[in-house]
Structure 1
Amino acid sequence: MTPSFYPRPYLYHINTADEQSQTSISRKANRSFGLIPFRVVDQLENEELTLAKAKEACVCYTLPDTNHTKLFIYQRVDNCANLDDFKICNAYDIDNTGLVCAWPSEEVLAYYCLSNLDLFRSKRVIELGSGYGLAGLLIAAATEALEVVISDGNPQVVDYIQRNINANTSVFGGTKVKSMMLHWNQEELSDISNSFDIIVASDCTFFKEFHKGLVQTVKCLLSKEGPSEAIFFGPKRGNSLDEFLMEVKESGLQFTIDEIYHTEVWRRHESFINNDALWPNYEKDHCYPLLVRISF
């Protein structure tokens, strides 16, 4: 059963009131690890201001790096959905969690990447199931990667990804950045097979029906020339992660799993465990992302 503090896929309420929209976005500060400071950008211009009041917000993340790099990410406000969302999910055989919010594991993934810049330098990187693309955008802005592809299986989400890429081009330096529509059950990936040194993903193992397709996508995309790996972050959520890792093993890939991979993330996790007021209903099984590294 999904805890009440996680937005539930397929269950939403239409929300158009400006005051409620701003409150919905601001509440996310209590549903994250607070590793990357962010604020809602209040002053947008013309049409963008109207859109933000109706159903969207522009969130400015300030990276805790030496340059205090800023990333601007457009996203839906909490609990704002329409019938087209569900039609698209049915048409593309996808879930719509990527439209819900920036999930806590995505923030942890982004923070981990910022703490391990050398992993990505001069590498070709793809993010799977990226949602609004915080981690992919951070990798492009901060790590001197050669190329970053930010992908999702939901065409609405991919539109947001491209919009967010366009909004941040000034901080990418020489890194090539592009969006991609990528469904994990897609059979033909010949154009990009064996193309990536690093795959990153967060909160992508919850839906068991996508496990096999996700593992095969990882196996197809990872380069077989030189060292390559996939870096996944996600909570256990019952036996969901264990079943995903069983699929990984059966595919012939290897994996390691780490619980304490960053002292600051672990410190904040312990503070949530010991003080319910900081993150109401925080549960390790559903909230604390483990680090899984997958390779040949």
Structure 2
Amino acid sequence: MDPIKRKNLAKYRWLILRKALLGRRTSDVPSKGSIRVHNSVALFHITETRNCDLESWMDYKHDGTPPLTVQIKRPLSILSMEDLIEGDNTGNVCIWASEQVMARYCVVNMKQFYNKSVIEIGGGSSCLAGLFIAKYGNASRVVLSDGNNRAIMNVDSIIRKNFCNKMDNLKIPEAVQIEWDNEEVLVQYAAQFDFLFCADCLFRDDIRRHLALAIFRLLTSEGEAIIFAPRRGNSMNDFLKLAKELFGISGVSIIQKYDEKVWQFHLSNLNVSSYNEDIHYPYLIKLTKSLKNPSLLTAASSA
């Protein structure tokens, strides 16, 4: 990407964080910096309400038969300096494009999660995709996770709201703080999940290898990771190189056209000046784990 364009995009993303730090709403941030789907293609009907404690909640409704709805608590808009120092807080600001596209994918393909164990990592303060699976997918187990404690506290509130009438505790999802380089936590959850979901988490150079390893270790022997992310310069390609070391070339696939509605929106905006495929269009990456190849185990242990 051109250095000037990269600088401008970084400026827009910091504008979002600055507004959050100052306690301002982020809905008026230019869409080329925020890349939020609700500023572009409408994948969900979103309505906002406030409860008696003045908390802001949003209903995310996906049309279908029957229509599926989850309730998302908007996190407090004010970020402290301690919040910023703690680590990546982008998941506390808004629900990003890739997360909403991934949530739609989960809704459309809900049947494949029946009686499966599912985890979403890096899900921010909503874990929107994993929440839909937990509520409607009849999965055997769902874990909603992020590396940021503030985000997980919000997810815990969301779980209580959406599952307040659930009698079967085994079906209620878990909210867990999982940092991808935390060995103690990874050992606790290793090789337990048939499906792993992750949205727009490939951009951090300092943690990318830890992310690839965490995905590999969390999946069962035949598990599958489903990742949605834009290219973001070399970020995606750098991640794919790491993924091929772990999953093998045949275990890694990238799909550009996976949803007709999202694809048509993409095509209709190619000539729009504010639209940049490099940061606005999420690709679908599938990583399929297979322990039949012993060389993959060697690569994982030595990485």
Q: If the TM-score is normalised by the length of the shorter chain, which range does it land in?
A: 0.7 to 0.9
Kindly tell me: are residues 164 and 243 of structure 1, through their superposed partners in 2, closer, same or farther at Cα, counting changes over 3 Å? same
Q: Which residue of the other structure, out of 226, 230, 233, is the alignment partner of 2:225?
A: 230
Using the alignment, how far apart are the partners of 1:159 and 1:179 within structure 2? Answer: 8
Taking the TM superposition and a 5 Å limit, the aligned residue runs for 1:28-177 are 30-41=38-49, 43-45=50-52, 48-49=53-54, 52=55, 57-76=56-75, 80-89=78-87, 95-131=88-124, 132-170=126-164, 175-177=171-173
Unaligned runs of 5+ in 1: 90-94
Q: Secondary structure at the match of 2:74?
A: strand
Deviation of 1:101 after TM superposition, in Å, equals: 0.7
**Secondary structure in structure 1 of the residue aligned to 2:192:** coil
Label 1:157 to 1:130 Cα distance change in 2 as closer, same or farther (>3 A): same
Separation in 1 of the partners of 2:203 and 2:15?
11
Q: How does 1:235-254 map to 2 (within 5 A)?
A: 235-253=230-248, 254=251
More deviation in 261-270 or 236-245?
261-270
C-alpha deviation, 1:22, in angstroms:
8.5
Q: Report the residue type matching 1:105 in the other structure.
A: S
Task: Give the Cα separation in 2 of the matches to 1:273 and 1:213.
Answer: 34
Is residue 12 of structure 1 aligned with residue 18 of structure 2? yes
Q: Secondary structure at the match of 1:190?
A: helix
Contact 2:103–2:129 (8 Å) recurs in 1:
yes
Question: In the TM superposition, what is the alpha-carbon distance from 1:210 to its structure 2 partner?
Answer: 1.2
Is the 8 Å Cα contact of residues 146 and 176 (structure 1) preserved in structure 2? no
Which 10-residue stretch deviates more, 150-159 or 3-12?
A: 3-12
Is 2:297 aligned against 1:290?
A: no
Is 1:262 matched up with 2:259?
yes
Amino acid at match of 1:251: L
Distance in 2 (alpha carbons) for counterparts of 1:22 and 1:237: 22
Residue equivalent to 1:92: none
Partners of 2:62 and 2:166 in 1: CA distance: 14
Instruction: Give the share of equivalent positions with the same residue, in percent.
Output: 30
Aligned equivalents of 1:170 and 1:74: distance in 2? 14
**1:145, distance to aligned residue in structure 2 (A):** 1.2
Distance 1:40 1:140 in 2: 22
Q: Would you identify which runs of 4 or more consecutive aligned residues in structure 1 move more than 6 Å?
A: none
Shift of 1:268: 1.5
- Give the corresponding residue for 1:194: 191
Match of 2:205 in 1: 208
2:25 match: 21
CA-atom RMSD in angstroms: 2.5
Count of residue pairs brought into register by the alignment: 271
Which of 166, 172, 178 is residue 174 of structure 2 equivalent to?
Answer: 178
Aligned AA (2:207): F
TM norm structure 1: 0.83
Query: Within 2, Cα distance between the matches of 1:139 and 1:146?
Result: 10
Pick the structure with more helix per residue: 2
| Shift, 1:117, TM fit | 1.4
Contact 2:195 2:226 in 1 (8 A): yes
Inter-CA distance 6–69: structure 2 relative to 1 (3 Å threshold): farther
Task: Tell me how far apart the structure 2 counterparts of residues 5 and 157 of structure 1 sit (CA, whole Å).
Answer: 23
CA distance in 1, matches of 2:16, 2:275: 22
Shift in Å, 1:228: 1.5
Deviations 1:169-189 (A, max 9, x none): 058786331100100011232
Separation (CA, whole Å) in 2 of partners of 1:44 and 1:75 = 12
